[in-house]
Amino acid sequence: MNKKIHKIAFLSHLDLNLYLFRLPIMIALIKEGHKVYAICPRGDKFDEFEKYGIEALPYAISRKSLNPFKELKTIRNIYKVIKRLDLDILHNFTAKPNIYGSIAGHLAKVPNIINSVTGLGSFYIQKTKKAQRIRLIMEKLYKEANKKVNHVIFQNSDDMRYFIRKKLVRKDQAVLIKSSGINSSIYDMNNVEDLTIIKLKKELNLSQKIVVLMVSRAIWHKGIKEYYDAAKILSSKYENIKFIFVGDTDENNVSCANEEYLKKPFVSWLGHRDDILNLTAISDICVLPSYREGVPRTLLEAASMSKAIVTTKAIGCKEVVDDGVNGYLVPVRNTKQLGNKIEKLFLDENLRKTMGKKARMKVLEEFDVDVVVKKYLDVYDAL
Measure the CA–CA gap between 207 and 66, rounded to whole angstroms: 50
Residue type, 188: D
- Is 7-181+369-381 CATH 3.40.50.2000? yes
Ranges of CATH 3.40.50.2000 domains, the chain: 7-181+369-381, 189-367
Q: Measure the CA angle with vertex 237, ends 314 and 307; round to 5°.
A: 45
Task: Flag the least confident range among 69-73, 75-79, 124-128, 231-235.
Answer: 124-128
- Which whole-number Å values give the CA distances from 33 to 8, 54, 184, in the listed order? 11, 12, 25
CB 205, CB 279: distance < 8 Å: no
Res 98 pLDDT > 80: yes
- At residue 299, the pLDDT reads 97
- At residue 68, the pLDDT reads 76
pLDDT band at 70 (very low <50, low <70, confident <90, very high): confident
DSSP secondary-structure letter at 219? B
Reference 105, options 126, 79, 81; nearest CA is 79
Residue type, 267: V
User: Looking at residues 10-30, what average pLDDT do you find?
Assistant: 96
- Paired sense of beta strands 174-176 and 7-11, if any: unpaired
Q: Which residues pair with 38 in a beta bridge?
A: 10, 56
What is the overall mean pLDDT for the chain?
Answer: 94
Q: What would be the CATH architecture of the domain defined by 189-367?
A: 3-Layer(aba) Sandwich (3.40)
Measure the CA–CA gap between 116 and 95, rounded to whole angstroms: 9
CB 36, CB 18: distance < 8 Å: no
Res 63 pLDDT > 80: no
- At residue 211, the pLDDT reads 98
User: Does the predicted TM-score (pTM) go above 0.85?
Assistant: yes
Per-residue pLDDT tens for 287-335? 999 999 989 999 999 999 999 999 999 999 999 999 999 999 999 999 9
Reference 23, options 225, 183, 163, 146; nearest CA is 183
Backbone CA torsion sign across 157, 158, 163, 167: positive
- Which whole-number Å values give the CA distances from 217 to 117, 220, 246, in the listed order? 20, 9, 8
- At residue 2, the pLDDT reads 60
Q: DSSP string spanning 325-382?
A: TTEEEE-TT-HHHHHHHHHHHHT-HHHHHHHHHHHHHHIIIIIBHHHHHHHHHHHHHT
- Paired sense of beta strands 327-330 and 55-57, if any: unpaired
- At residue 208, the pLDDT reads 87
Q: Measure the CA angle with vertex 171, ends 167 and 175; round to 5°.
A: 120
pLDDT band at 134 (very low <50, low <70, confident <90, very high): confident
Res 3 pLDDT > 70: no
Q: Which residues pair with 243 in a beta bridge?
A: 212, 267
Measure the CA–CA gap between 52 and 177, rounded to whole angstroms: 24
